[in-house]
A and B are shown apart, each in its own frame.
Chain A
């Protein structure tokens, strides 16, 4: 892969390497200049081996996710690129008739029945001669390719879109592209009369081998050929697409021309650049220019740099995959950074008295920072290395799964990693950890010496004396509290500098959070669109956001007192910007509306407001605005839109709401769990011997709110993401691939344009097909594909200028499928509408009107502008998925080839869930026939009799119509296959995101191990009071279970609410219950996470239980 978020990977690598160098150099400097502190830090590493291993595991998790994402990108890039090189072989450019869109030059045709236009071979003879003179060109091969139906009559197998390509034997003589399976290179010149080469895909499809006969049908002719050999697939071996139209064969040029009745004609000139298949790629721009220069003037011929486009497309695929994985991995990376922060804070707590002593004997704060940085960097360098390696292993597993998911698309996925990705993953992992550790170290260094030595907990925040000192003086103290820690009043200029640094850092924290969340918000749009921000800025935001968001959350937890005014100010500033800029971004609005109250809550707290009341109110408010108010689903009051107007959000809302809801859920639980648990632990008798264990297990997490909150947040964040994705997958599959999508039909039969069927029922009867008896209804749909049809919605500011469209100038027309449906289709279909024009009371009324009026039409829901994305065409404005009625509007349908156009009134929008199969502007057949001379495709939709086996009936139809190449499929089976592939990819994503659960589980483990050390004396005391070993073990297990359970529960509940809102808002009008909870997945994910957390606590719990009492009591 070459780019990430539109930024060159090389640039990202160099920036990261520079930061890595700075990090390593700082530690090197510490080692040289402050050797004692360096040693002090590093010598801590072997003190507790189990703990060291756990720290390394905790530190590496983020790197695992980063490395897996990059390696997956490399794998996809490499796999697709290899496929491009393998299929194109020597062909670097092609010269064909007619202009094509760039992305059509390589890949799968949208319409598989399209034929290449031909041109006269004599007219291009000078061009061929010129190109052969070029030192940059190895070969120029005139070809003729056409589509036929290939049939193995003996076994009654057919390949309906078989491409027979004729090659000029002399021109192709030196090319290595034709390779017989197992026996090496072959040439066209070796073919005898009546012989062809069959490519591997066709041979497999038709079950043919060398020496067998294959019959090729076209509308005009039928010829039997003998298969001389089976050869590898390739462009020069008849393979046109990547996943479709791979089946084909090779004949001498004159044989192919004669077979298709096109003597003297060519369809493509293949150009092979100097060098081998990969080497030719680099000459592509030069040769392209040479071809352009050599093309005759006023020609319809164009050059297609197929290999360059194919390789670039492969890289783009790689980039998209990396972005996709990295974006969805952000939740886990964020949780990982929180874990790193927590690990170091806990290390500091463990060494509090040591640090206090060190400070007492003259060690400076900066020395403590340096000690921790040295230790952290030592862990870090090792952890990132292990993390990168494990990430590669994870990517190998992902590649295996992807291999099976994409098997149907003929795409071989094999794992691959580039050195650049390794360097980027490692550096990013190290840098991320280094900065987190540095921040944590700075926080740690702010200890009070006496309290540290005596291991006394920090006192609660003092309540400002605003009653006696006045509000202004109190506010000043409130804001400058962090500054006072620098002692700037006593230290003159140095102190002032320190003051400015601290003030800058404090002010930067919320700004960086904003930057981070903004970044997360636009992450997706970056993947698919090229924005114009300077690359360096994007790199900065990228690295900054990965690091700063979790850090800032950590900072917010630690520095609540100081951040209050800053959050309030930043929130107010964001809201002011939103209003001033007349923005419609729901994210910006909600973020401002969250940050300001958060700041206010922190300030109120520091004025002594009740902790539970303040944070609970804040949490409920945040949950309400992010999960209820903004969604137009009837579960909120719509207060925000009433005050600030309508605001729109996209996928970024998923990321941001994940973070905000996690924050809110954490506040809600840690400040209120006691209300539920205390009565439980008081209650009683029924708990029996478990009562004291439960009492202890709950008391510790509730007392240590920060530690509990951070661990809970890690679980909540990852579970939230997993459950949202699961719910979306489950509901999309249910809605789009459920029975609704069938539109009341069971089988579709695609006619082969080379062999029209006429009337399907008659054709089947004449063929004596047993299928005829099973068919109840047949409807016909004729299609003009986007290349043949353009549409425009007439709006006041949006004129439909057909003249401009025909002249190729700027116009409001959008190439879009237009389909004619016959009366039988209209009468028998069960396609529903999510919105109907005013005056039409039912779906049946719409269809009835369409049948009787040629000027009416209906359109699929994908045409609505709000449903666009991923480059799909849309053209209907003013309606969204929530509308159930609309005013009928006019659409102009244009045939760009003939210049004919018709205006139609659109009176219905097909259910989104049905629109995948029944897409396009659906008009009556007479109107379609009047506008288009010949459809690009004809599809029959069949409803079978009750109880019919649709798969068997489809097979019978294909077998009966074998020689026509008609393709029949069971619509249900096709949807099931799509569902399997769709779910396969989602499961893969879930599996990847599930890596984040390791973070939560590791956090539970870290806490449990740490807790044993911390509570050793207390364990001894409990044992002296009569606690048995098992009670101690159970206490630890319940404690971990409690934290994990609360995190998981919060994640599940709030994810289901969000998913419900997302689905309900978009798909409320689909005629089916719009939201369903994927209970098996929810239970599996929750159970797995919970079980793993308990498993992780088992070892420390056993250790705690086996501590000798006397030793524990003596422990200091």
Chain B
């Protein structure tokens, strides 16, 4: 069962002293070495850092895709570690959306079929799922491409399908791992405009892992990581303009 906590309902995501160690044949690799952070609801956060610093690992641990070795992760007040695998799956289907660098679309399904998949998983009936999927595709300007398969779409179009898929079940939080990493700058800008627009319009929380400083600046807040640790958190101009605030240490660890 989900372990509800009473603390910090204002935060979408809270991580306290999260440690993640990968065990390989001969050595243990510590990918996260006690990371703590908090992401307020409706915030848009970029996680940056050099390759191998633990950005994707942190995103996976925060979203429940991976198990933490130690520490606590709460999403909307729910302790992820306390959920069973099936409960986590259900939670992801209801409350989370994912955007990956290489789109990870199902090549054998059309754009609209890809987008409706989370709804079908959540038990929405097929007719309603199709209507909602088409509506979201409209939102990402792909209504005319609904019946095309991924192979028939450009990189930018594919990523928009991914975003539509991530948003279709109206999740409270969207995780994006290098969402523009495989795109040219024009397409990258378009995608970020789309994401920021959705963030503003729907007040959904976005946690974005990126290498790209420009992309990071489009968010409210940048978290810099080095060697499995957060070394810096700073508000961007957009964040300052929107009145966002960096959570205090006590808020983060409470």
Contact = CB atoms under 8 A, between A and B. Distances in A.
Nearest to A1024: B98
A700 B108 CA distance: 6
A1114 B98 CA distance: 14
B99 to A, nearest CB: 10
Contact of B89 (A681, A691, A695, A1028): A1028
A1026 B123 contact: no
Given A1021-B98, A1113-B65, A1113-B100, A1027 B108 contact: no
Interface stretch (A578-586, A682-690, A991-999): A682-690
Name the prevailing secondary structure of the B interface residues. Answer: helix
Contact of B118 (A696, A1026, A1031): A1026
Interface in A667-702: 681-685, 688-689, 691-692, 695-696, 699-700, 702
Given A700-B108, A1028-B85, A1028-B86, A681 B126 contact: yes
B63 interface: yes
B86 A695 contact: no
B245 interface: no
Contacts, number: 95
A71 interface: no
Contacts of B118: 1025-1026
B32 interface: no
Most chain B CB neighbours (cut-off 10 Å) among A699, A703, A1017, A1109? A1109
B104 A457 contact: no
Contacts of B89: 1023, 1026-1029, 1031
Contacts of A305: none
Given A685-B125, A1024-B92, A695 B113 contact: yes
Interface in A963-996: none
A41 interface: no
A684 B121 contact: no
With most chain B CB atoms within 10 A of its CB, the pick from A684, A1021, A1024, A1025 is A1025
A1020 interface: yes
Contacts of A26: none
A285 interface: no
A827 interface: no
B90 interface: yes
A934 to B, nearest CB: 81
Contacts of A123: none
Contacts of B188: none
Contact of A699 (B65, B85, B109): B109
Contacts of B165: 1025
A1029 B109 CA distance: 21
A1110 interface: yes
B126 A696 contact: no
Interface of A is mostly: helix
Contacts of A457: 107, 151
Contacts of A689: 123
Interface string B79-102: 000000110011111101010101
B56 interface: yes
A684 B98 CA distance: 25
A683 B126 contact: yes
A1018 interface: yes
Contact of A1109 (B66, B90, B177): B66
A673 to B, nearest CB: 13
B107 A703 contact: yes
A1022 B93 CA distance: 10
A1089 B80 CA distance: 43
A869 interface: no
B106 A699 contact: yes
Interface string A1028-1053: 11110000000000000000000000
B122 interface: yes
Interface string A1089-1116: 0000000000000000000111001100
Contacts of B92: 1024-1026
Contact of B104 (A681, A704, A1113): A1113
A1109 B63 CA distance: 11
Given A1017-B104, A1110-B66, A1113-B65, A1025 B98 contact: yes
Given A699-B108, A699-B109, A1026 B125 contact: no
B108 A702 contact: yes
A696 B94 contact: no
B63 A1024 contact: yes
B166 to A, nearest CB: 9
A1085 to B, nearest CB: 31
Interface string A37-67: 0000000000000000000000000000000
Contacts of B60: 1109-1110, 1113
A692 B107 contact: no
B126 A685 contact: yes
A1026 B65 contact: no
Nearest to B66: A1110
Contact of A696 (B65, B98, B106, B122): B106
A647 to B, nearest CB: 44
Interface string B47-88: 000000000110010010110000000000000000001100
Interface in B121-167: 121-123, 125-127, 130, 151, 165
Contacts of A692: 117, 120-121
A702 B118 CA distance: 21
**Chain A CB within 10 Å, residue with most, of B91, B102, B120, B127:** B120
22 contacts: A457-B151, A684-B125, A684-B126, A685-B125, A695-B120, A699-B109, A700-B108, A1021-B98, A1022-B106, A1022-B117, A1023-B65, A1024-B92, A1025-B92, A1025-B93, A1026-B91, A1026-B118, A1028-B85, A1029-B85, A1029-B86, A1108-B66, A1110-B65, A1113-B100
Interface of A: 457, 681-685, 688-689, 691-692, 695-696, 699-700, 702-704, 1017-1018, 1020-1031, 1108-1110, 1113-1114
